Structure 1
Amino acid sequence: MQAAHGFVAHHPWAASVGVAINVEATGSEGPDVMFRETGGWPAEVYVSTAPRPVTTPTIRDLVRFASLPVDTDFSVFRDPTEPHGNLPGIDIASMLGGYTYHTSVDDVDRVKPGMVQAYGENVFEATKAFATKISEISEGISGGDDVSGNESSSSRRIPVGPGTGSALFDVFGAFGVVYGPKNRVLHGVLHAVPLLACLARTTLGAKKDRRSRAARGAKTTIRAWVSAVALPAACGASRALVSGRPLVWFGKPLLTAALFAPPAAAGLLYPYADARRKSRVGVRADAPPLSVADCVDGAALVSSVLAAVVGAAGAAMGYVCALWAFGLVLAGSPWARLRRGSRTAAAATTGFFAFACLLPAAALSAPIAYVTFVLFSEKVGILGSHVWPIGLAVGDAVMGAGVGTAAVLLAGGFAPAISCSGKTARTTARRVALAWALTAVASSIACSPYSARAPKRLAIIHNHDANGVDGDGLLSETAVEFVVGAFDSVPAVNALSPLDRDGVRRATRADDFFGLYPVSNLLGEGVILPSTRARAPPWGTDASAPTLTIARVDRSTAGVSIEVVFNTTAPAWSCARVSGPIVSWSLSRALPGDGARAASASKKKKHRVLWARHAGNGERAAVWRWTMDVATTADVDDVVIDAWALYPGESDELSGIVDGLTPHTSAILGTMYKAKTARGGR
């Protein structure tokens, strides 16, 4: 990202770039998935021209609407605050096979044959198509300046926005389908017709009791979908908390399915069986009976409403909801003709017809469910750690929710059409619960979370703090300690040797990891070990240790400018945190963060906290210099700057800890120096 920023901000080629194709990978196998785009037309062109286009809607919507922290170089290329950012483009990544992602065993031998070839063919065809499209856009713009305000005659840029343009999806990676605002007829048919059909069937000419049954069926569907996600999450969290052993299924897909799929299936199916049982017993004396047809009608109504709402919001999941809605609307028609309790051959015929109606939606949802399941199971290893005991349950709860989501995607439409007696449902539920309990106990006792295929990730940093306070609060010239943090919910101390565990000084605080920002957001749990100063520090002698100084304070009628200089010995990965009433700085045209939130904080007299990173890979980059502006002279006293320099690699001191790590542990190693804090007032 820092290199991308350097390119769009300073490179002479930046003004001539018309579109960005970001080639990413978070795994060594599987198809390359387009999961983010800007400008609308790049996504349309890509799925129309790539030989094997794949776009997984769950990932695209999580990135767009849930704001997942999945920053890539593309985040910079599409940044409208950069002089040559705000580019239309696409973000593509191969996502599967990610257990070893960013570990010491992540090597080229793990790349599946053919993956890079298929990836390259997609990007090559997209590049040619994008070049043609850019030429067409350039020819269609009149005048000397382009509409984005860039005055380069070699580049014709248009203003773009994330998530704009048509909706699209792929069909098993064979071809892409584009629809949406540019094809309003198809968009309206796909998202509105199922809802209109549901409303017509349940209101026009229907008896009041049928409308009531459809409403109860809809409530049952919502309950089934929620419980399909919540039950496996609760079961996983409970197992981890009771046993004290989280993530025993990590790297074991079959065990993952055995622990989470049965609760997900039970949560999806049981509400329908329970609702039909209660309708026979009678919830109220005048309660109408609830049949399979009622459950199907209710599921169709919920899916149709969801398809209309999600489609209107432009979410990628819209077509999945619409396909299930169409299938359920068609499947519900023959069910309505059967009398309640019918056991004739017509019931079997109707069931087969319903299965045929729902099969297309299930088939197109299957790859999405599979990718969702695999991604959740792999990425939980870098989900982040949290303070005990809540941290023990987070990974298992997230995995349970992921499996439940995959179950709803794959079989949510079939569940209301499955008919079984209350006795059968209760017997099956008891057997499933017993099987799950046995699996949970056995795995908690016998299984280790990690293997050569799925190692544990640690961060071990040899930390030197020039502010003169060590971990025990004692004054010293430079406080030195080892900071050990885990990237998942298994405590970091578990990976250390018994001797290192006995030497733990304290648990970590958030600020212990600040030098790794933004990776520090994943390291909420860890331990501090005692250490001596580095015998051969990467910055050289004490005289050449990193220094942070305020070089100059310029006061004028327009405000006060503060010049900051951070000197390091390259190569170093530097980080700075600025706290205070900063109104602008030289590192970017606009200050990071939300403007409204910043204004609110200013009214409450809360100081903004700004972060910046700097990659110093050569002698010219050993000095990091920037300026900050405040409104008045009095504000200078409130400015506080902290800076860290990280030197990656193993040292003699770190090797002692690394040698004692448990098998199948991969550690990110480095030596860190925190310079003495600089304050604007002195």
Structure 2
Amino acid sequence: MALRLDGTDVSGFKFLFSLAVMYGLMSILVHSVMYTKFITPLGIDAPLDRFSEARAIEHVRVLAHEIDGRQEGRQGLREAAEYIKAQLERLKERAGSNFRIEIEENVVSGSFNMMFLGHGISFGYRNHTNILVRISSIDSQETDPSVLMNAHFDGPLGSPGAGDCASCVASLLEIARLTIDSGWVPPRPIIFLFNGAEEVFLLGAHGFMRTHKWRDSIGAFINVEASGTGGLDLVCQSGPGSWPSSVYAQSAIYPMAHSAAQDVFPVIPGDTDYRMFSEDYGSIPGLDIIFLLGGYYYHTNYDTVDRLVPGSMQARGDNLYSAVKAFAESAKLRNARQRESLGVSNGSDDGQAVFFDYLAWFMIFYSRRIAMALHSIPVIIFLVMPFFSRFLYSGLWCCFATFYDFVKGMILHTTGIMLAIIFPVLFSILRLLVSSYGMNWFANPFLAFMMFIPISLVGLLIPRTVFHGFPLSQNVSVLKVPKEALSDEARFWGAFGFYASVTLAYLLAGLSGGFLTFFTSASMLLAWISFCLSIKFSGRQLARSSVFYVIPLIPCLTYSVYFGGFLVQFLIEKMGMMGSLPPPYGNYVPDIVVAAIVGVVTGWCMGPLMPICGKWLARSSILQFLLHLSVIALALSSQFFPYSRDAPKRVVFQHTFLTADANQIVDSSYDFSVVDSNSLLFLFKYAPELAKELNIGPEFSFETAKMSNQRTFLVCHL
């Protein structure tokens, strides 16, 4: 169906094209930040007083490729321990006389209970190896407060473990070298713990915390982890208290941290050694820093050194070295006895702080106490504004009418945001009804944006299209203000009230992610002031005033694209290991989740523009165009296979033994499963060689197949 355009429609399409160009440029910038393209890795011949990614990569190459397998029970794990120890001995030999270098090989045994995924699990273990080095000044004491840096050198089953976690070990080895070669003698001891048993439920860290003589001297720690092969090296957890994140904010060269991550991380089914140091067996202040992107290869045989994202280890190394220096030089660094005697955990009384980085350029940090005041301001402004703007001129009744219009504006904006989420979800369900498989976007994330952003925009614009003329309660003749001006005002303050309310809700819930909507609210105020000044000095020229509204929002919108793009990419990568849910409804879950998140991100990135710029876009011709784009993207997506060599499908194949005692085998079985929504039927259809190897014929069905007991699965892919 051909679109018939009048002059107003043409202007609307020009504005839509301008926004597309603006967001496209933002996306290019964000992509370069997410994948550290702005960081130049230093080569193997870099100055010795600088962290070198190339030197660290050489350690990764040895650990991940020259050593065959670093899993518990394999010879490779012993070889990795010997390699690390040999590197530390070489550093000790060339250290200056003002250093004291203590190297230990510590064999740990023990037992403990822990809660995991809502279940109590008991562990008993023995003879796991940790390698430690303590670097201090020659006059340091055994009880001096120290800084711990931790990384694990064991690897996941079936994986070279270049990212997880040879890259972590390599970073710490290079930092240990840098500490000695730079001439900086740490004023407090620095302990490097290379633990050999993290993949088997954090046993190495537990053994250190329960048995080692240095454990009570630790005043702060940094746990280095990886759930991917690079990108943003994000601070996912910090605490107790705000001191660790404050030190990071002041010291990081390329800060990568969001306090919102601490709201989400506890619900993710995965733990790191941070838990042992800061929660279960200690209350040591510290940071949990994790590579999050490149999750396609996490715990697979594709986790190789050539897949590490260039620049990621350079950024990590520069940040870690700067942070460990800041911790070692901090006056707040205290050992366990000092913390106990003072009755504090270095700032825990102040609660979790609010912090976020802006494109890894700089970091904004403020305390919980300041957040309580700061994040309440937008709601106060929203409630006061009707009375401030009307009372002196029109009386109390007009104030309430204005407030009522603001509430209606907030309801309309909320409806648009909700529809921006619902429409992509419905669209994803419709696509699966006509498609033979889901998750087409898994290997091609751009498909998720192509399919769901246009339809999400349709939902966002529906309220503005339906209520093209705002249902005002105010009397235009009494106020002697143009109806268009009152409508713009009501829509703006309604949208502002929505973001202010969400900010307050975050605050009251005790969460730390309220900075997202607070930043939006503050930016919208600046945009509104700019818009009003434009009208005052240039008249109500629609194009000019809209541009003046958009310009102050650009920093906020860029951050929204940054945070939202990272969130969608991370989520898409993790959908490949979320687990296989029962069909038929389980087949829909990943597509629905991704569609909903893209809808949230679209509403967040475009929502602040809608009060003023929505008038350009809320036209039937533009809605039709967006619908056509969505349908074309749907048709195009069917031509893409969900998986590729760079985004493989995960399967679990294990040999299970049921024993009555140490010597009697009661039963055994081979168990085979997938870990995403595309079932075994999909796998056997598109991998016929596998089906043939397993003697699976075309008559295979779940009704007749023998189902495995899911409780017996060793979930090594998580």
| Structures share fold, TM-score greater than 0.5 | yes
- 8 Å CA contact 2:332–2:346 kept in 1: the answer is no
Which of 585, 606, 617 matches 1:390?
A: 585
In the TM superposition, residue 428 of structure 1 has moved relative to its aligned partner by 2.3
Q: Go from structure 1 to structure 2 and tell me whether the alpha carbon gap of 1:337 and 1:136 turns closer, same or farther (over 3 Å shift).
A: closer
The corresponding residue for 2:320 is: 123
Q: Distance in 2 between matches of 1:336 and 1:160?
A: 43
Q: Go from structure 1 to structure 2 and tell me whether the alpha carbon gap of 1:440 and 1:349 turns closer, same or farther (over 3 Å shift).
A: closer
The corresponding residue for 2:45 is: none
Counting only pairs closer than 5 Å after superposition, residues 148-187 of structure 1 correspond to structure 2 as: 148=340, 158=345, 164-181=351-368, 184=370, 187=371
Q: Distance in 1 between matches of 2:460 and 2:285?
A: 41
- 8 Å CA contact 1:35–1:91 kept in 2: the answer is yes
Which amino acid in 2 is paired with 1:402?
I
In the TM superposition, residue 431 of structure 1 has moved relative to its aligned partner by 2.8
Normalized per residue, the structure richer in helix is 2
Which of 371, 376, 395 matches 1:192?
A: 376
Residue 365 (str. 1) matches residue 560 (str. 2): yes
In the TM superposition, residue 395 of structure 1 has moved relative to its aligned partner by 0.8
Which amino acid in 2 is paired with 1:354?
Y
Which amino acid in 1 is paired with 2:594?
M
Which amino acid in 1 is paired with 2:320?
V
Q: Go from structure 1 to structure 2 and tell me whether the alpha carbon gap of 1:426 and 1:101 turns closer, same or farther (over 3 Å shift).
A: same
Which of 516, 523, 547 matches 1:352?
A: 547
In the TM superposition, residue 490 of structure 1 has moved relative to its aligned partner by 0.8
Superposition RMSD in Å: 3.4
Q: Distance in 2 between matches of 1:17 and 1:138?
A: 8
- 8 Å CA contact 1:49–1:126 kept in 2: the answer is yes
The corresponding residue for 1:294 is: 490
Per-residue deviation, residues 478-505 of structure 1 (Å, max 9, x unmatched): 4333211212111134223343332858
Q: Distance in 2 between matches of 1:38 and 1:510?
A: 44
The corresponding residue for 1:416 is: 611
Which of 13, 27, 41 matches 2:228?
A: 27
Which amino acid in 2 is paired with 1:307?
T
Q: Go from structure 1 to structure 2 and tell me whether the alpha carbon gap of 1:324 and 1:509 turns closer, same or farther (over 3 Å shift).
A: farther
- 8 Å CA contact 1:272–1:295 kept in 2: the answer is no
- 8 Å CA contact 2:651–2:674 kept in 1: the answer is yes
Normalized per residue, the structure richer in strand is 1
Which amino acid in 2 is paired with 1:264?
S
Residue 70 (str. 1) matches residue 250 (str. 2): no
Which of 673, 678, 701 matches 1:485?
A: 673
In the TM superposition, residue 36 of structure 1 has moved relative to its aligned partner by 1.0
Q: Go from structure 1 to structure 2 and tell me whether the alpha carbon gap of 1:505 and 1:347 turns closer, same or farther (over 3 Å shift).
A: closer
Q: Distance in 2 between matches of 1:25 and 1:173?
A: 18
The corresponding residue for 1:108 is: 305
Q: Distance in 2 between matches of 1:163 and 1:63?
A: 21
In the TM superposition, residue 354 of structure 1 has moved relative to its aligned partner by 1.5
In the TM superposition, residue 119 of structure 1 has moved relative to its aligned partner by 0.2
- 8 Å CA contact 1:62–1:68 kept in 2: the answer is yes
Per-residue deviation, residues 600-628 of structure 1 (Å, max 9, x unmatched): xxxxxxxxxxxxxxxxxxxxxxxxxxxxx
Which of 7, 11, 23 matches 2:212?
A: 11
Q: Distance in 1 between matches of 2:345 and 2:575?
A: 39
Mean alpha-carbon deviation: is it higher for 398-407 or for 479-488?
Answer: 479-488
Which amino acid in 2 is paired with 1:196?
I
In the TM superposition, residue 137 of structure 1 has moved relative to its aligned partner by 4.2
Specify which structure has the bigger relative contact order, considering alpha-carbon pairs within 8 angstroms and separated by 6 or more residues. Answer: 2
Structure 2 regions of 5+ residues with no counterpart?
Answer: 1-201, 392-397, 473-482
Per-residue deviation, residues 161-185 of structure 1 (Å, max 9, x unmatched): 6993322222221222221246x3x
- 8 Å CA contact 1:87–1:160 kept in 2: the answer is no
Q: Distance in 1 between matches of 2:707 and 2:234?
A: 34
Residue 322 (str. 1) matches residue 518 (str. 2): yes
Which of 541, 555, 570 matches 1:375?
A: 570
In the TM superposition, residue 297 of structure 1 has moved relative to its aligned partner by 1.1
The corresponding residue for 1:309 is: 505
Which amino acid in 2 is paired with 1:437?
V
In the TM superposition, residue 247 of structure 1 has moved relative to its aligned partner by 0.5
Q: Distance in 1 between matches of 2:581 and 2:624?
A: 34
Q: Distance in 1 between matches of 2:711 and 2:568?
A: 32
TM-score normalised according to structure 1 size: 0.65
- 8 Å CA contact 1:48–1:177 kept in 2: the answer is no
Which amino acid in 2 is paired with 1:94?
F
Q: Go from structure 1 to structure 2 and tell me whether the alpha carbon gap of 1:2 and 1:239 turns closer, same or farther (over 3 Å shift).
A: farther
Q: Distance in 1 between matches of 2:708 and 2:588?
A: 24
Per-residue deviation, residues 554-606 of structure 1 (Å, max 9, x unmatched): xxxxxxxxxxxxxxxxxxxxxxxxxxxxxxxxxxxxxxxxxxxxxxxxxxxxx
Q: Go from structure 1 to structure 2 and tell me whether the alpha carbon gap of 1:370 and 1:103 turns closer, same or farther (over 3 Å shift).
A: same
Q: Go from structure 1 to structure 2 and tell me whether the alpha carbon gap of 1:478 and 1:157 turns closer, same or farther (over 3 Å shift).
A: same
Residue 88 (str. 1) matches residue 275 (str. 2): no
Q: SS of the residue aligned with 1:87?
A: coil
In the TM superposition, residue 189 of structure 1 has moved relative to its aligned partner by 6.2
| Identity within the alignment, % | 25
Q: Go from structure 1 to structure 2 and tell me whether the alpha carbon gap of 1:381 and 1:108 turns closer, same or farther (over 3 Å shift).
A: same
In the TM superposition, residue 89 of structure 1 has moved relative to its aligned partner by 0.6
Which amino acid in 2 is paired with 1:447?
F
In the TM superposition, residue 322 of structure 1 has moved relative to its aligned partner by 1.3
Which of 466, 490, 501 matches 1:274?
A: 466
Q: SS of the residue aligned with 1:464?
A: strand
Which amino acid in 1 is paired with 2:446?
L
Q: Distance in 1 between matches of 2:573 and 2:402?
A: 46
Counting only pairs closer than 5 Å after superposition, residues 242-641 of structure 1 correspond to structure 2 as: 242-277=434-469, 279=471, 291-311=487-507, 313-332=509-528, 345-420=540-615, 425-444=619-638, 446-466=639-659, 478-496=666-684, 497=688, 498-499=691-692, 500=694, 501-502=696-697, 506=702, 512-516=709-713
In the TM superposition, residue 420 of structure 1 has moved relative to its aligned partner by 3.0
Which amino acid in 2 is paired with 1:6?
G
In the TM superposition, residue 312 of structure 1 has moved relative to its aligned partner by 5.0
Which of 239, 243, 252 matches 1:41?
A: 243
Per-residue deviation, residues 101-139 of structure 1 (Å, max 9, x unmatched): 221111110112221121011111111111223x54439
Which amino acid in 1 is paired with 2:669?
E
Q: Distance in 1 between matches of 2:592 and 2:441?
A: 12
In the TM superposition, residue 344 of structure 1 has moved relative to its aligned partner by 6.3
In the TM superposition, residue 209 of structure 1 has moved relative to its aligned partner by 3.1
Per-residue deviation, residues 357-399 of structure 1 (Å, max 9, x unmatched): 3223212323111211211221111122200011111110111
Q: Distance in 1 between matches of 2:493 and 2:249?
A: 34
Q: SS of the residue aligned with 1:138?
A: coil
Q: Go from structure 1 to structure 2 and tell me whether the alpha carbon gap of 1:76 and 1:101 turns closer, same or farther (over 3 Å shift).
A: same
Q: SS of the residue aligned with 2:443?
A: coil
Which amino acid in 2 is paired with 1:485?
S
In the TM superposition, residue 477 of structure 1 has moved relative to its aligned partner by 7.4
Counting only pairs closer than 5 Å after superposition, residues 650-669 of structure 1 correspond to structure 2 as: none
TM-score normalised according to structure 2 size: 0.61
Q: Go from structure 1 to structure 2 and tell me whether the alpha carbon gap of 1:505 and 1:260 turns closer, same or farther (over 3 Å shift).
A: closer
Q: Distance in 2 between matches of 1:348 and 1:117?
A: 45
Which amino acid in 2 is paired with 1:175?
F
Q: Distance in 2 between matches of 1:38 and 1:311?
A: 19
